[in-house]
A and B are shown apart, each in its own frame.
Chain A
Amino acid sequence: MQAIALRPRFVAIPRRLIRLRRPSDALIAFWSCLVAYLAVAFYVTLIVHSQGLGQDGVSRVAIANRILFSGDPHLAAVGFVWSPLPELVLVPLVALKSVWPALVQDAFAGNIVSALFMAGAAYQIFRFLDEVGVRRWVRWLLTATFALHPMIILYAINSMSEAMFIFFLLLVARHLQRWLRTQEISALVSTGFYLAMLYLTRYEATAAAAAVVVIVAFATFIRTRSATRQRVRAAMLDAFIVVAPFATAFVLWALTSWLITGTAFQQLSSSYGNSAQLQSRGLSTSLTLGQELAASSQALHWMLALEPFLPVVIVACVAVIVWRRDWIALAAPAVLAAVVAFMFYAQVSGSVLQLLRYFIVVIPLVILMVGVTLARRSKSGSRESPPRGPEHVWRRRSLRWLWTGGTTAAAIVGIVLMSLSVQAGYRAVMDPTINVGYAAELQALVQRGPLTQAERLASLRFVTDHHVSQYVDSLHLGRGTVLVDDFLGFDIVMSSSNTQQYVITSDRDFQQVLADPSGNGVRYFLVPSEQALGKLDAINRAYPGAYANGGGLGTLVKQFNSVSDDATNWRLYRVNGTGTG
Chain B
Amino acid sequence: MSRLADLAVEEEDGAVVARITGEIDLSNAATLERAMLDTVPNTATGMVVDLTGVSYLDSAGIRMLGEMAERLRWREQRLAVVAPEGSRVRGVLTMAGAQDVVAFEDSFDSALRAVVGQG
- The answer to whether A and B come from one shared complex is no
